[in-house]
Structure formats: structure tokens, C-alpha cells
Structure 1
Amino acid sequence: MTTAHDYGEGIHPERALKYAVQRVSGGRAELVEGVIHDLPTGWDHECVRDVLRSQISGTVDALEGIDGSGDLDLPGSLNWYVPDIAVVPGRLARGSGALAPDQTLLIVEVTSQATAETDRVVKRRRYADYGAPLYLLVDRLDKTVTLFAGPGRLGYTEVYGPHPFGETVPLPAPFGIDLDTSRL
């Protein structure tokens, strides 16, 4: 006879949750500290992403990179993120599923009412833990842009900002460009 206990044998929570989040019906979702979250959608959010993508696209091309919102796995944790924008080397993007944050060149998160605290606190900490070299936080609620660099186990060691919308925000190497935030 099969018992409820038998079904739990051998199930690995991290794998099960990451499998589930990749199969959410009706849209994209991410896993944040073990909780599945729907991703925010809306034209305001898309406008910010579009403004940023248009400014970095030439540099991304020169770096032979890809910018998009592909899946990022944080192995060994109950986290599976879908950033608003991630820039990754093109050679890594081809034929791969999820990448790890340390395989990115830049990660951008754009806050919404639903994601603000997660983007400001949890993702900042986790992206640093997992070696994302640059994390750009566009906070639509506070109308600021903050760049985090120098990831480590205790968080990011370099913080540039917060810069109010309208200021120019320099993106360091390998980008070496200034972001115009006046249209955010």
C-alpha cells in the first residue's frame, strides 16, 4: 500500500520548485526565496526597459553579447530569477537554458509596486552572493538609479547612487558608457 509519506521520498525541493516555476501557465514567473512570483507586466515597465536597451545595444553588439530577460539559476538556493534585462556573452546564450549570475556582464531590475523590496534587498544580496559583476537597480517608485559593483559574500563593495532620474549614470567596463536617465 502506498502512503503519503512514500510520495515525498527522493523529492528534492530545489529541483521541484525550479521545475514548477519554468512551467507556470499564462506567463513568466520567478522563484524568490522559495516563493513563486508572477512577473510584473505593463507598458510603464516596458518603456523603462526599452530606454535602457536602446542605450546599451551598441556596446552589447561590440561585446558580442546578448541582452534579454532569460532565466538565471542560483544553484543551491530556492531562487530562479528572470531579470528585466541581463547582458550575457553571446557564446553562453546559444544552446543554453538558464545561466548563473556570475556569467552575466550586467543585470538590470526595474522596480514595480509588487517587486520593489525584493529588487532592492533580496536580489541585490543574492546577485552579489552569486557573483553578478554589475547590478543596476532602476527604482521607479523612488525615481532613482543605483549601480552596484564588486560582488562578494558580504554584498556589493561599490555603490554608485542613488542617482535621481535625469542624471547621467556611468556604466563601467566593459561598457564604458553613460546612461541618460532623463527618459525613465
Structure 2
Amino acid sequence: MSTASQHPEDYSTVADPERALKYALRHVAGDRAEIVEGVITPMSPSWAHESAADVVRRQLTVRLAELDLVSGSGNLDLPGSENWYIPDLAVVPAELAMKTEGPLVPDQTLLIVEVGSPSNAETDRVTKRRRYGQYGAPLYLLVDRQNRECTLFSEPTRLGYATADGPHPFGTSVRLPAPFDLALDTGLL
């Protein structure tokens, strides 16, 4: 049976393990689960976790409107890998978001923010940092609640990110470069 006539997101009739796993995630595991290195991981962020993401979102809001960008926590597919992420916050062009029903890929974002929790801190610090860089996300902000610090990663490469700005202890500013040109206040994290 040929898979050429299938729709890009119809994972139900293929033998490819990546596609089958992503099908299972979308149709069995539900909307609040992601795949990290082939493992389906349910997500249930705490209120403290959501609050930290909201602190960043609120500071970005004015710039997003000026730049015709939107923020959200939509699905990100990492094609060719067994990874499907739901970032705590991603910033994308408004026009792209309005036209996209399925997942985006990291290189379509302008900024990805992950807020570390006790259950996923190492995943955010190591795995997602490497994968987001490999898949071309221009900026990755890690809000590490356990270590009470933020680090901004930039210059994506095939091995991850080439540049890290930080860690910056909570209470200091983290400068987001163009197009944002914004100093994030981390004092409320």
C-alpha cells in the first residue's frame, strides 16, 4: 500500500514508527501530552508553573501586538524524530498561526519558552535545548524555577545552540534581541 496519497497528518495506516507514535499521541493520549525522545509524557502543569509562563507572556504582549505576532502553547512537531512538544509558550507570526490547523516546526517560531518543573527540569535543560536548536528555533528561553534562573539560547546549529546568555538569577533582566528588543523582568518569577 502506498502512503503517497495520505494526508500529511493521517498517521493511521502507515508502518513508520515515528508516524504511528505521533498518531497515538494525537488520537489516544489527548491534547495535554507530548513525546520526548519516543516516550509519551502527559502534561499537567502546576499553578506556579502556569504563573511563571504568564509572567513572560504579559511582558511580551505589547511587543507582540506591535510586531503582528501571537503567543501560545500549540503543538510543535520535530519531523524525522520521535518528538512532539507542547512548549509552555511559543511566539509565531500571527498570519502563520491563523492559517495553521496542525503543528508547526520549531524553525517557524521566533521564540520558545519552557518553564522547568521538578518533573521535567532536566528535559527542558538538556533534551529540549538540544532539539530546539537542531530544529532551528531562533531563540529558546529556559525559565529554571528549581535553580531560580533564566537562560536565553540563540544561534541554532545542527548540534543545538551555539550561544547561551545566562544563567541570569531571578530578579535580574534578560534581554530578548530583535525583533523583540525587550528586557524581561524576572523578579516576579
TM-score by length of 2: 0.90
CA distance, structure 2, for counterparts of residue 41 and residue 24 of structure 1: 20
- AA in 2 matched with 1:36: I
Q: Secondary structure at the match of 2:99?
A: coil
Deviations 1:40-84 (A, max 9, x none): 321101110111110001111111111000000000000000000
User: Which stretch of structure 1 is more off in the superposition, 33-42 or 139-148?
Assistant: 33-42
How far residue 25 of structure 1 moved from its aligned partner, in angstroms, is 5.0
2:6 aligned partner: none
1:21 aligned partner: 25
The yes-or-no answer on 1:164 pairing with 2:177 is no
How far residue 24 of structure 1 moved from its aligned partner, in angstroms, is 4.2
CA distance, structure 1, for counterparts of residue 14 and residue 40 of structure 2: 22
Q: 1:136 to 1:38 in 2, by over 3 A?
A: same
User: Which stretch of structure 1 is more off in the superposition, 113-122 or 14-23?
Assistant: 14-23
1:88 aligned partner: 92
Hey, which bits of structure 1, 4+ residues long, moved more than 3 A?
24-27
2:142 aligned partner: 137
Q: 1:64 to 1:148 in 2, by over 3 A?
A: same
Contact 2:14 2:20 in 1 (8 A): no
State the number of aligned residues: 176
Contact 2:139 2:153 in 1 (8 A): yes
Q: 1:26 to 1:128 in 2, by over 3 A?
A: closer
Q: 1:162 to 1:10 in 2, by over 3 A?
A: same
1:39 aligned partner: 43
Contact 1:40 1:114 in 2 (8 A): no
CA distance, structure 2, for counterparts of residue 27 and residue 114 of structure 1: 19
Deviations 1:125-161 (A, max 9, x none): 0000000000000000000000000000122111100
Match of 2:67 among 39, 63, 66: 63
What percentage of aligned pairs have identical amino acids? 60
- AA in 1 matched with 2:157: G
Q: Secondary structure at the match of 2:160?
A: coil
1:103 aligned partner: 108
Match of 1:178 among 172, 179, 183: 183
Q: 1:155 to 1:23 in 2, by over 3 A?
A: same
Q: Unpaired runs of 5+ in structure 1?
A: 1-8
CA distance, structure 1, for counterparts of residue 76 and residue 29 of structure 2: 19
- AA in 2 matched with 1:91: E
